[in-house]
Amino acid sequence: MTCLDQAAAVMDGVLIVHKEAGWTSHDVVAKLRSVLGVSKVGHAGTLDPAATGVLPVLTGRGTRIAEYLVEWDKEYRAVLRLGETTDTQDATGMVLSRHLAGHITGPEIEHALERFRGVIQQVPPMYSALKVDGVPLYRSARAGKTIVREARSITVSHLDLLSFDGTDATLRVVCSKGTYVRTLCADIGEILGVGGHLLALERSRVGPLTLDHAMSVEEIARRQALGILSHTMLSLDRALNEFPVLVVNGQTAARVRNGVSVPFADVLNRETATDCTPRQDSIVRIHDEGGTLLAIGRGPDRSGAVYAIEKVLVDRDHGSVSRREL
């Protein structure tokens, strides 16, 4: 790989960042924009300032795949403090009420957790970035207003009690996008009759990205200075590894670069592609014969004959830096 290729690889991909407490997700993005010297930097899945853990950061063409990464499930280690409610539903807020909680037992918590597993309805908190009529809810909350919010369906696939010391319950939470863990904690406290709030939160996983492989902003800056950051940056292709691959020849690849749909008859790996995408309207990666990721497609259509192009991930003339080996 040439120096130019290596620089391009650093610009296009996904970094697994270990966000520290006190930083907003935007703070992390702004810092890394300066460290990497690139303008296109974003993140997939916001973490509150007090929370720590995995924050996927996308650079260069990586920002084009954010919508696919935010669909991943998340795993958290959350500490629920029983007996206190706050206006923000976490430890950063003002205490609204206090109740004795010494009579609550582990088995009672386990029983309460059963009500929050599976597909449930959750009302977003007032202190959130969710917009109603174009205004973030937290701005209305700071102005002393309470806005009516509609409950939304979320999925809590795992909710386990890891430990309980009589006041603080440590929970393992695996949930879908759009889940507010602090609201989950507040709701559990309400069911138990003593109230509660989120004392601490660590995100241990976003989809396949785990805390074990996450780097601090300082470590990323060090690796960038040494010229070795590309060794630990995920390429777009690796980040999208869960989606099946369609392989096309050079002529079709040229059309894909211009956003032209792919007829299934032009797919070189038709047999394996059919096995991997049995359903209509599946997300697929489109590769050329050299293994370069060209685009993200969706299909087949109702006729089963065409895959539409959703995102072109290469320049028309200069090719891709999102190769499988990066």
| pLDDT tens digits, one per residue of 268-277 | 887 776 666 5
Record the pTM. 0.87
* C-beta separation of 224 from 35 below 8 A: yes
Tell me, rounded to whole angstroms, the distance of Cα 253 from its chain centroid. Answer: 30
Inter-CA distances, 141 with 22, 63, 130, 325, Å:
21, 31, 12, 48
Tell me, rounded to whole angstroms, the distance of Cα 268 from its chain centroid. Answer: 32
Q: How confident is the model over 130-180, as pLDDT tens digits?
A: 888 788 888 888 888 888 888 999 999 999 999 999 999 999 999 999 999
pLDDT score of 309 more than 90: yes
Q: How far apart are CA 275 and CA 13, in angstroms?
A: 28
Pairing of strands 282-288, 262-263: unpaired
Identify the DSSP state of 243.
S
Region 310-325 average pLDDT? 62
Q: How far apart are CA 218 and CA 197, in angstroms?
A: 31
pLDDT score of 2 more than 50: no
Q: What is the pLDDT of residue 1?
A: 42
Mean confidence (pLDDT) of the chain: 89
pLDDT score of 116 more than 50: yes
- Positions marked catalytic: 48
Question: What domains are defined for the chain?
Answer: 3-71+208-236 (3.30.2350.10), 84-192 (3.30.2350.10), 243-312 (2.30.130.10)
* Tokens standing for residue 107: 């088995």
3-state secondary structure 49-80: CCCEEEEEEEEHHHHHHHHHHCCCCEEEEEEE
**Reduced to 3 states, what is the DSSP secondary structure of residue 48?**
coil
Strand partners, 173: 76, 159
* C-beta separation of 202 from 76 below 8 A: yes
